[in-house]
Amino acid sequence: MTTTAIGRTSVPAKYLPVLVTGCLFAAMFVAGGIRYEGFASGQVVLNVFIDNAFLLVVAVGMTFVILTGGIDLSVGSVVALSTMIAASLMAGPGWPPYVVIPLVLAIGSGLGLVMGAIVHAFDIQPFIVTLAGMFLARGLCYTIGTDSIPIEDATFTAFAQTRIDLFADLWISPSVVIAVVVVLVAAYVLHYTRLGRSVYATGGSEQSAMLMGLPVGRTKIAVYTISGFCSALGGVLLSFYMLSGYGLHAVGMELDAIAAVVIGGTLLTGGSGFLLGTVLGVLVLGLIQTIISFEGTLSSWWTKIFIGLLLFVFILLQRVFSARTRR
Amino acid sequence: MRRLLWPAVVLVLLLALNVFFTPSFFSIQVRDGHLYGSLIDILRFGAPLILVALGMTLVIATGGIDLSVGSVVAISGALACLQISQDAGVFTAVALALGLCLVLGAWNGFLVAGIGIQPIIATLILMVAGRGLAQLITGGQIITVNSEAYKVIGGGYWLTVPFGVLIVLAVLGITAFLTRRLALGMLIESVGGNAEASRLAGIRSRGIILMVYAFAALCAGVAGLMISSNVSSADGNNAGLWIELDAILAVVIGGTSLAGGRFSLGGTVLGALIIQTLTTTVYSIGVPPETTLLFKALVVTAVCLIQSPSFREKAFRRRGRTAPPSPAHEEKVRVTA
């Protein structure tokens, strides 16, 4: 019983998971700065953003879906499909980017819309529906082509090579700007619009939300559409980064996105979590990779083991917090 | 039995499609004292998936899910091959690998039953970390072994029948006996229906949950031995990749609800056979292999739609307006959503 008193007097319990993730990020950064030369610079953090802009966008979409208590396994495949469609349309028929990019975004949103509609209309588990979506999108990739298609379009290469200089030798890529805009818009939608409130309400308790007269069905369809849009946008950003379209891009990215959302303190049962947490989650994942590349001697598979350990610690923390608030 | 109707129809349709394109599809020959034929191939290559799906069925019956089986497949194969390459006996290697799998499964079960973490997340931890672990064991390399005895598990024959198929039959028989002849199956279903209520009724639901996760990991471990023994090598990165998704699909296609509380072992075997036949069909009817996944997505969607009560109701109503509206049923479906 004393635990509740502590919970009440200090930071509100709902901010605790995000705070913990923030502290972890800071601690990792400081530890890295002490251990490695040249680590403690602003550019290292910005590089994490530059290398993970696409993951950030995808994770934002995933946050919406998970907040309603659903899950979207199709994101990685939709990212790959987007790079593939963009690359093949520009390489083959030579379509201009200002046609290709909106088309890709529309296809991604359309796929999300269809999956959301099936989840809502036929009461099939989101896990299974998005799994079928994952197979479908990956299959479409291979149908378009099994080889990697290079992108040589001037606009895309410009996006890939432009450096936006900030103060004091720091720089970011245009993708980071897009990702940050997406995060800000998404945060606005989640916290200041009717849709955002419905998302939280649906995740909290679908039945209560329905009894309150909230459009649960429309909300569910909307979040999968948002996730589809974000995946397609993530695909466009990835094709800026990779300058190619390939059916094997972004394999397993759905796991990274889910891991980022969980590490960011969002409950997978839905109804509780913040976008800031997801941003921090992506940063933590990115920083792990940076540290492992700085360490040099550690092999790449340690990344996976560390991410697994982190997931474990965070889920344990979440469990402790939710047990406290319930009592 | 009605639950098995649709999966059976789909499997028969797929097989019929194969016969249509390759008339010799059903022929089974005995060559060098081994059974040969397309049907045997489906069974032989489908054996690991059936095993993993069997374990998954019991986990799903308790209302859980196990995403880590693919990683466990990789770990088991990796450890066994590492041991054999270091001159350990085949039995020692197999026992060590399966022992580790049991520990990993018990870890999953402990997270779910002991700490109370959502199953999908609890097993996500091992799914991500386990891949790393498998690569750690193999040192990032593909370990190849040269052991005739080990080769038998996945590639050998006994009494003309592929050894893997015999293993599957044995595991299926034991599981069916334990869950359908003894009370265990009912206990599992009651835990899946309502874990708290069954605890109050005197069932040790935590023990049951721990057991099903350990069983799922053990099945995955045996499947991992089969996969690595069939190619005489262990690949920490790619062995068993995405097998958890196929296994979950097999279970769902077989009519076991992801919500738990009911399960059908026969349905799962049918589901796994459908998935394996699908792959074979794609090759035999000459669809480009690149489109396998498309084909799979379509069949999966079709089977899941057919099984959704909500879809059947809507399709039925559209066909004939004479059907009386049933608000009570619709309400029920929505509430369970």
Give the start-to-end residue ranges of the domains of chain A.
10-326
3-state secondary structure of B315: helix
Taken as a whole, chain A contains a residue count of: 327
Residue ranges of chain B whose pLDDT lies below 70:
1-2, 317-337
Structural domain ending residue among the three candidates B208, B232, B265: B265
Q: Are residues B43 and B192 in the same domain?
A: yes
- Nearest chain B Cα to A318, which residue? B117
Question: HEC profile for B26-47?
Answer: HCCEEECCEEECHHHHHHHHHH
**Neighboring chain B residues of A311 at a CB cutoff of 8 Å:** 121, 124-125, 128-129
Q: Which of A28, A230, A229, A13 is closest to A109 using CA atoms?
A: A229
Classify residue A286 by burial, with Cβ atoms within 10 Å: 0-12, 13-18, 19+.
buried
Residue B266 tokens read as: 């026969």
Judgement on whether residues B108 and B222 belong to the same structural domain of the protein: yes
Are B172 and B313 contained in the same domain? no
- The per-residue pLDDT for range A32-48, each reduced to its tens digit, is 888 888 787 888 888 89
Q: Is A255–B296 a contact, with Cβ atoms under 8 angstroms apart?
A: no
* Chain A residues whose beta carbon lies within 8 Å of the beta carbon of residue B117: 315-316, 319
Q: For residue A148, what pLDDT is reported?
A: 86
Q: Give the residue on A whose Cα is nearest the Cα of B116.
A: A319
What values do phi and psi take at A97, rounded to 5?
Answer: -60, -35
Of A221, A260, A203, the C-alpha closest to A52 is: A260
Determine, for residues A143 and B290 on separate chains, whether the beta-carbon distance falls below 8 Å.
yes
CA distance B248 to chain A (A): 9
Of the candidates B265, B297, B313, which is a domain's last residue? B265
Q: What is the pLDDT of residue B334?
A: 40
Model ipTM value: 0.79
Which structural domain range is residue B50 located in?
34-265
Closest CA of chain A from B182, distance in Å: 31
| Helix A216-242 and helix A97-122, axial crossing angle in degrees, nearest 10 | 150
How far does A225 lie from chain B, in Å, by closest CA?
Answer: 19
Residue A200 to residue A194: CA distance in whole angstroms: 10
Residue B311 structure tokens:
């879809």
CA distances to B76, B123, B240 from B104, in Å: 10, 10, 16
The answer to whether B334 contacts A303, with C-beta atoms less than 8 Å apart, is no
Which class for A91: exposed (0-12), middle (13-18), buried (19 or more C-beta within 10 A)? middle
Asked if residue B192 and residue B308 are part of one domain, the reply reads no
A171 CA to centre of own chain = 23
Q: Are B38 and B69 contained in the same domain?
A: yes
Which residues on adjacent β-strands are paired with residue A150? A244
Burial (CB count <10 Å: 0-12, 13-18, 19+), residue A308: buried
Residues from chain A contacting residue B247 (CB–CB below 8 Å)? none
Place of tokens 């403690």: A40
Which two three-digit tokens encode residue B51? 């095993």
CB atoms near residue A312 (< 10 Å): 20
Chain B residues in contact with A285 (beta carbon < 8 A) = none
End-to-end CA distance of chain B: 25
Helix crossing, A216-242 with A194-204: angle to 10°? 110
Token pair in block for residue A30: 């400081």
Two tokens, residue A302: 């340690």
Q: Which two tokens stand for residue A144?
A: 């378009």
* Residue carrying the six token digits 């995740």: A203
CA distance B279 to chain A (A): 13
Poorest-confidence range of A59-68, A211-220, B233-242, B265-274?
B233-242
Q: Which residue has the tokens 């005739």?
A: B148
Nearest-neighbour CA in chain A from B114: distance (Å): 12
Residue predicted with more confidence, A303 or B227: B227
For chain A, counts of helices (H) and of strands (E) = 14, 4
CATH number corresponding to A10-326: 1.10.3470
- How confident is the model at residue A233, as a pLDDT? 95
- Choose among B27, B311, B15, B226: nearest CA to A119: B311
Q: Rounded to whole angstroms, how far apart are CA atoms A238 and A244?
A: 9
**A269 contacts in chain B (CB < 8 Å):** 118
CA closest to B140 among chain A residues:
A301
B118 token code pair: 């959502």
Interface test with A, best of B282, B290, B306, B336 (most A CBs within 10 A): B290
| pLDDT score, position A40 | 78
Work out the angle between the directed axes of helices B309-319 and B292-307 (0-180°, nearest 10): 80
Please report, for residues A71, A170, B139, B263, the alpha-carbon distance to residue B61 in angstroms, rounded to integers and kept in the order given.
20, 54, 36, 5
Per-residue confidence (pLDDT) for residue B253, from 0 to 100: 84
Tell me whether residues A210 and B334 touch, CB distance under 8 A: yes
**How far is the alpha carbon of B163 from chain A, nearest alpha carbon, in Å?**
31
Average pLDDT score, chain A: 86
Residues on chain B touching A73 (C-beta within 8 angstroms): 245
Q: Tokens 């979950």 appear where? A: B248
Residue whose structure tokens are 């003894």: B182
Mean pLDDT, residues A85-101: 87
Angle formed by the axes of helices B243-253 and B292-307, nearest 10°: 30
Which of B133, B258, B296 lies closest to A135 in CB terms?
Answer: B296
Distances (CA, A) of A287 to A180, A306, A308, B166: 18, 11, 15, 48
For residue A309, the chain B residues in CB contact (below 8 A) are 129
* Same domain, residue pair B215 and B316: no
Q: Are residues B119 and B169 in the same domain?
A: yes
Residue of A nearest to B131 (CA): A304
Instruction: Give me the residue from B118, B136, B300 closest to A268, CB to CB.
Output: B118
CA distances from A106 to A58, B72, B164 (A): 15, 38, 47
Between strands A149-150 and A244-245, the pairing is: antiparallel
**Cβ pair A124:B304 closer than 8 A:** yes
**Which tens digits make up the pLDDT trace of A108-149?**
999 999 999 999 988 888 888 998 899 899 889 888 888 888
Find the residue in A nearest to B246 (Cα): A131
Q: Is residue B255 part of a domain?
A: yes
Which chain A residue has the Cα nearest residue B136?
Answer: A301
Chain centroid to CA A185:
14
Chain B residues touching residue A123 (CB < 8 angstroms): 308-310, 333-334, 336-337
Question: By the 8 A CB rule, do A254 and A244 touch?
Answer: no
Which residues of chain B neighbour A313 with C-beta distances below 8 Å? none
Size of interface A-B (CB pairs under 8 A): 136
How far, in Å, CA of B296 to CA of B282, rounded?
Answer: 9
Distance CA A250, CA A80 (A): 6
Q: Are residues B77 and B113 in the same domain?
A: yes
Q: How many domains does chain B have?
A: 2
Residues B242, B113: one domain?
yes
Token code pair at residue B49 = 């998936």
Q: Model confidence over A267-293: pLDDT tens digits?
A: 888 888 889 999 999 999 999 888 888
Q: A257-280: b or e for each residue (b if 16 or more CB lie within 10 Å)? A: bbbbbbbbbbbbebbbbbbbbbbb
Q: Are A182 and A60 in contact (CB under 8 A)?
A: yes
Closest approach of B222 to chain A, Cα-based (Å) = 23
pLDDT digits (tens, 9 = 90+) for B49-65: 999 999 999 999 998 88
**Shared domain check, B230 and B142:** yes
Which amino acid belongs to residue A33?
A: G
Interface test with B, best of A72, A288, A304 (most B CBs within 10 A): A304
C-alpha distances out from residue A181 to A168, A178, A194, A254, Å: 23, 5, 20, 22
Contacts of B125 in chain A (CB under 8 A): 308, 311-312, 315
pLDDT of A245: 85
Same domain? For B228 and B326 the reply is: no
Whether residue B91 sits in one domain with residue B175: yes
Nearest to B128 among A206, A269, A307 (CB): A307
Q: Coil, strand, or helix at residue B30?
A: strand
Please give the model's pTM, rounded to 2 decimal places.
0.84
Per-residue model confidence as pLDDT tens digits over A153-181: 888 888 888 888 877 778 888 899 999 99
Nearest to A131 by CA among B239, B183, B242, B189: B242
Q: What is the DSSP string of B86-115?
A: TT--HHHHHHHHHHHHHHHHHHHHIIIIII
CB–CB contact B304 A132 (8 Å) = yes
Q: How many Å lie between the alpha carbon of A68 and the closest alpha carbon of chain B?
A: 13
Q: What is the predicted pLDDT for the residue at B227?
A: 92
How far apart (Å, rounded) are the C-alpha atoms in residues A111 and A104? 11
**Owner of token pair 């590089």:** A47
Does B276 fall in a domain? no
Q: Decide which of B231, B265, B299 is a domain's last residue.
A: B265
